[in-house]
């Protein structure tokens, strides 16, 4: 994908977010944000055992934070807890480009970080039950 196509893809996810909205009956939900720039995402996760069955989010902020979160919701659906927890920022680099992630790292990784923390909370919650 060339630079123009990549930017169009990012804008499409920002303008037409996938899996957007609050989720009734989520197993875990978590808000994450970057106070310095005003980016906020709230993720909602529903698991079937160790597998992520459904994910959605709400949020506001810059194009990068919101588009990256939208993209990630499409990718992680169906992943196991281990797969999610083992993801690193390289997945975001693959989605957005190395250049964009280097110039806006906190915005780029907000969705990933929030999804991973929420997944960890779910794992801890299940361990106690």
Q: Which residues lie below 8 Å from residue 2, measured CB to CB, with a gap of 6+?
A: none
How far, in Å, CA of 2 to CA of 50, rounded? Answer: 36
What band does 99 get if pLDDT is binned at 50, 70 and 90? confident
pTM of the model: 0.95
Reduce the DSSP state of residue 19 to 3 states and report it. coil
Residue 122 has pLDDT above 80, yes or no: yes
Helical axes 3-15 vs 63-76, angle rounded to 10° = 90
- Cα angle 97, 103, 105 (rounded to 5 degrees) comes to 80
Question: Range of 117's domain?
Answer: 3-128
Domain count within the chain: 1
Residue 59 has pLDDT above 80, yes or no: yes
Residue 91 has pLDDT above 80, yes or no: yes
Q: What is the CATH number of the domain that holds 20?
A: 3.90.1010.10
Percentage, residues of the chain above pLDDT 90: 81
What band does 37 get if pLDDT is binned at 50, 70 and 90? confident
């Amino acid at each position: 994908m060339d630079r123009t196509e990549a930017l169009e893809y990012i804008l499409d996810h920002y303008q037409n977010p996938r899996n957007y909205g609050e989720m009734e009956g989520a197993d875990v939900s978590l808000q994450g944000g970057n106070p310095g720039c005003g980016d906020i995402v709230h993720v909602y996760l529903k698991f079937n055992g160790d597998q992520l069955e459904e994910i959605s989010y709400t949020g506001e902020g810059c194009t990068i934070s919101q588009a990256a979160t939208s993209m990630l919701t499409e990718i992680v659906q169906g992943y196991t807890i281990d797969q999610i927890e083992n993801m690193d920022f390289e997945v975001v680099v693959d989605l957005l480009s190395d250049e964009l992630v280097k110039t806006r790292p906190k915005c780029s990784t907000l969705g990933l970080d929030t999804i991973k923390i929420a997944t960890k909370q779910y794992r801890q919650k299940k361990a106690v039950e």
